[in-house]
Structure 1
Amino acid sequence: MEETMKAWQQNAPGPVEENLKLVDNVPSPSTALKKGEILVRVVSACLNPADYKVMEMGFLARATVKFPKVMGMDLSGTVTAVAEGSTDVKVGDYILGRVDPMKSHGSLSQFLVLSQEEYAVIPREVDLDHAAGVPTAGMTAYQSIKPYVKAGDRIFINGGSGGTGSFGIQIGKALGCHVTTSCSTAKVDLVKKLGADAVIDYRVENIVTELKAEGQVYDLVVDNVGNSPKDFFATTPGFLRSAGHYIAVGGSPSLQTVQNMTKGLLWPSFLGGTPRKFVPYFTKNVREDYEQLASWLADGTITTTIDSTFEFEQVIGALEHLKKGSSTGKVIVHVSPKE
């Protein structure tokens, strides 16, 4: 293995269009692997809004991220080395994986070391572009639904056409739930194709009005949007059962987001707070969860909706496309050839 590799690296916080650079002499990761680690040749990477948001957080980025930083969380690729004593993975295996966004080495690099909690082995017949689109969005959807439902429950997913929402619809159905979701007019056919039982078109219908008309029938609300409808959590007693949960997934970092989270968590109902369980969501790498997602991907229970693909040299263009907020599905970057 060569001592250096190509990677998209940023030396300091700031707009990615100006600061993120393709560097051809980034030190390659060490092949001296710790217990449970694997060395991966990255084939495909998937871009997420969090990738550029972390880079653009200013002083918060300096406080939480070590620069220079290689961008990217999600990936698929081929195992090129395994730690001594590993029995559940071998050289040549395909994997999907996710890097913690606060780590300095990300998925937009030719090689990467993953710990045993950060990946799952996938069958070789699984398309690596589709696999790369699963980790963050799929894990977020799975962890925001699975602990809170049983077969027969009713779920409302606010924002069903994005990456997390599209997996959420499929996962909710796989778990035996009735799924209602919201999206724009242009995305109605997509979410129905993914399995949604009912769809609220927010461009022509009022989400809260439509939900309240059904009564307190929902067991879980997953909010992938975060700022629309306004004060959404406060409206949930009109349609969420008293024992139901509201999972706050979406929303850009802002003072309003912090205020909403603080109020939802700390403001008691006897002082005017909302009498429903508010749960802020933070993605966690869990090996068993990745293995479940990998299994569902392999057998067709879940599929990745891909919006577009870009070559490794086109990452800035891919990020500009992602920032528009109009993509339908995942934005994939081809890092290396499959073989």
Structure 2
Amino acid sequence: MPSMRAVRIHEFGSENVLRLERVERPEPGGHEVLIKVMAASVNPVDWKTRKGEYAMVGEDDLPLTLGRDLAGEVAAVGNRVSEFKVGDRIFAMLDAKHGGYEEFASIPVSQLVGMPAGLSFDEAAAVPLAGMTAWQGLFQNGNLKAGQRVLIHGGGGGVGHFAIQFAKAKGAWVATTVSPADASLAKELGADQVIDYHSERFEEVIDPVDLVLDLIGGETQDRSFAILKEGGVIVSTLGEPDKAAAERSKVRAVGFMVNPNARQLAEIGELIDQGKVNVVLHKVFPLEDAAAAQRALEQEHVQGKIVLRVA
């Protein structure tokens, strides 16, 4: 059987447990597509999984190939697949049972979407997980509508920089909290009010909002109830916000985890094709430097996304 390179973990721990090794190349099942992976992005869920901090992956799931999104070309299709053909350029968010840190990935056709025409593979790989996290936070869980006001905590990061652009594209007024290093980027992405959290307390400088998208947690989340309109909502990727505080403030509180959704990813792709959304890349690492890429994401100030170039 042909082999390929993949970055896998056989145990939980530091970035030193990441192994670049040769494994058997998969064959697509009837409803699957074999993708030649060109690039895969690096997300917080990757290093959390590596450390054993992601509840959906346990010891019984090891060894495991990491990576939850990718971009590449169709290399082969299963005998029940008619939606794609060899050579098509795709991007996808993967479920927890599939990995992107490998040269070939066999993926259910239901998870695949054609790549936006104007993106490189590196840029396209940066979109799915972070993009759909922003999308599901704003629209699926936050019910954001045109004309409403949203505050996005952490607007310079992978999820945050997409959230700013999605909210603006849908006609919302957008404020964001960022570090001084990300202030210029946030303005370029279209934020109406940019708040430097080093020197300003957001609750003192912003009028009430309909939605808070919390990508930071902790004290930032706790203070956010004070600037929500009655009937508003706080949505967090970092666990369910305080229900008692929500009841006192007469708002909703939602914690969520992103799930693959090809229809939503296709809509995001359309916004990219229309020039309404840009992808910000912080740095691109080769596949063999996956450990350095995870270390950078976990320990450094990252603007936009980190990507592994696989092919």
TM-superposed CA distance for 1:175, in Å, is 0.4
Of 152, 158, 183, the match for 1:188:
183
Per-residue deviation, residues 92-136 of structure 1 (Å, max 9, x unmatched): 110111122x32x41000010122332211255421111000011
Asked whether 1:227 is paired with 2:218, we answer: yes
Of 83, 101, 106, the match for 2:99:
106
SS at match of 1:86: coil
Of 290, 303, 325, the match for 2:265:
290
| Count of residue correspondences | 309
Decide whether aligned partners of structure 1 residues 268 and 318 sit closer, same or farther in structure 2, where only a CA change above 3 A counts.
Answer: closer
The amino acid that maps onto 1:229 is: T
Partner of 2:301: 326
The amino acid that maps onto 1:13 is: F
The amino acid that maps onto 1:43 is: M
Answer yes or no: is the 8 Å Cα contact 1:14–1:58 preserved in 2. no
Partner of 1:254: none
- Work out the CA distance in 2 between the residues paired with 1:113 and 1:333: 18
Of 121, 128, 133, the match for 1:135:
128
Per-residue deviation, residues 141-200 of structure 1 (Å, max 9, x unmatched): 111112312111111101110011000000001101110101011111000001101111
Partner of 1:22: 20
Partner of 1:244: 232
Decide whether aligned partners of structure 1 residues 59 and 113 sit closer, same or farther in structure 2, where only a CA change above 3 A counts.
Answer: closer
Alignment of 1:1-339 (within 5 A): 2-15=1-14, 17-24=15-22, 26-31=23-28, 33-35=29-31, 37-57=32-52, 60=55, 63=58, 66-100=61-95, 102-103=96-97, 105-147=98-140, 148-211=143-206, 214=207, 216=208, 218-229=209-220, 231-232=222-223, 235-236=224-225, 238-249=226-237, 251=238, 261=240, 263-264=242-243, 269=247, 273-336=248-311
Unaligned runs of 5+ in 2: none
TM-superposed CA distance for 1:58, in Å, is 6.0
Unaligned runs of 5+ in 1: 252-256
The amino acid that maps onto 1:207 is: F
- Work out the CA distance in 1 between the residues paired with 2:129 and 2:52: 20
The amino acid that maps onto 1:221 is: V
SS at match of 2:124: helix
TM-score under structure 2 normalisation?
0.93
Decide whether aligned partners of structure 1 residues 307 and 210 sit closer, same or farther in structure 2, where only a CA change above 3 A counts.
Answer: same
TM-superposed CA distance for 1:243, in Å, is 1.8
What do you get for the CA RMSD once the two structures are aligned? 2.1
Stretches of 4+ aligned residues off by more than 3 angstroms: 58-65, 266-269
Decide whether aligned partners of structure 1 residues 134 and 221 sit closer, same or farther in structure 2, where only a CA change above 3 A counts.
Answer: same
